[in-house]
Amino acid sequence: MASSSSINFIETALSCTTTNSLSYPDPKQKWLIRKHLLSLIQNYPTFRPSINTFTHNDGTTANLLHVAGNLHISNYIPPVPLTIWLHESYPYMPPLVFVSSSNSMSPIHKNHPFVDSSSGFTSSPYLQTWNFPRCNLTCLVRNIINIFNIDHPLIHNSFSCVSLTNPLLVSKMEALDRLSGMIHYDMIDLMAKNQEEMQELCKLSAELMKRGDILRNTIIDLEEKKLMLKDRVMKLMEEGDVLMNWLRVNDLKSIVAIGGEDDAFEGVDYESKMVIDCLSADRCIEDLIYELDKAVEEGVMPFDSYIKQVRILAREQFSYRATLVNRGEAKI
């Protein structure tokens, strides 16, 4: 039963016409508010009516009625401190419901499907689909009890799942509440998985960017080396042209020919000329092999061509050196 003091308070508050009167100008609206409040405190006598200034999210204020009290859910779980504000357009607009954890030892657990952990603002499919005259305060509190019995805001537990295949087990509104709660937790799990995947993708992206930088630097180094090799090839070609021009002028055949009239070095006899020719040919082949080695290192000459030329030159060099050895032994 509602206490007489609560009834008198509601009657006095709604009949007040002073400057501090409530923000409910319509007499019919006041009559409906009175009816709904009396029904609420008769069914749930733990609630006590009061008047205070309410500040909306847009900064506007209104002098509103509200009821506050501990809402008993069941004998096995603690009650929930609840405050219900009657909007200035009530009952055509839904009331504003808040869970207060300041008077409770346990804070509101995070990720509750219907209660905001920071402000305590409470929402549910019943409030979201509020429609007068189907909806009222008493039915609202009954709906909140059902919701908190499934998922208590001050005790963190996963949303209990009851089979909804049998329509006799639950009402349409309770089925909607349960479905909303399960979807809420499924969305939280999905967001957590997506967050983990995003973190992994961010790490992968950072690693790919790092490898991309390394690859770009490697390409730049290779381009520089390529330019250096091109410059080196050009210089070698220029030096080759100079050498060829020198050979044309000085007639290489006249230098290496035996018995030539314009020999660079003249031997006093046939044996001396033979030694000079073999030594000069051996040195020329040695220099040529050295240049071929450098050409292979710089990538100017293919390796198979290098091997072929070296074999030919090595055989020629061997014959010259063998001749020198035989001449030396013959003298001994």
Give domain 4-156's CATH superfamily. Ubiquitin Conjugating Enzyme (3.10.110.10)
Whole-number mean pLDDT of the chain? 81
Secondary structure of residue 330 in the 3-state scheme: helix
Angle at 192 between CA 188 and CA 197, to 5 degrees: 145
CA 244/CA 249 separation, integer angstroms: 9
Distance in angstroms (rounded) separating the CA atoms of residues 159 and 184: 9
Q: What is the pLDDT of residues 8-56, one digit of tens each?
A: 898 888 887 665 678 898 889 999 999 999 999 999 999 999 999 999 8
pLDDT of residue 242: 81
Query: Using CA atoms, how far apart are residues 205 and 208, in angstroms rounded to an integer?
Result: 5
Sequence-ordered strand ranges (E) for 96-192: 96-99, 121-122
Could you give the CA distance from residue 123 to residue 19 in angstroms, rounded to a whole number?
32
How much is the average pLDDT of 87-105?
85
Most confident option among 48-62, 109-123, 175-189: 48-62
Cα distance between residue 181 and residue 84, in whole Å: 22
3-class DSSP assignment, residue 256 = helix
Q: In angstroms, rounded to a whole number, what is the distance separating the alpha carbons of residues 68 and 71?
A: 9
3-state secondary structure of 120: coil
Domain-wise residue ranges, the chain: 4-156, 169-251, 267-329
Antiparallel, parallel or unpaired: β 80-85 and 61-71 = antiparallel
pLDDT tens, residue by residue, 247-274: 777 654 555 554 444 445 565 677 778 8
**Cβ burial 182-213 (10 Å sphere, 16+ → b, else e):** beebeeeeeeeeeeeeeeeeeeeeeeeeeeee
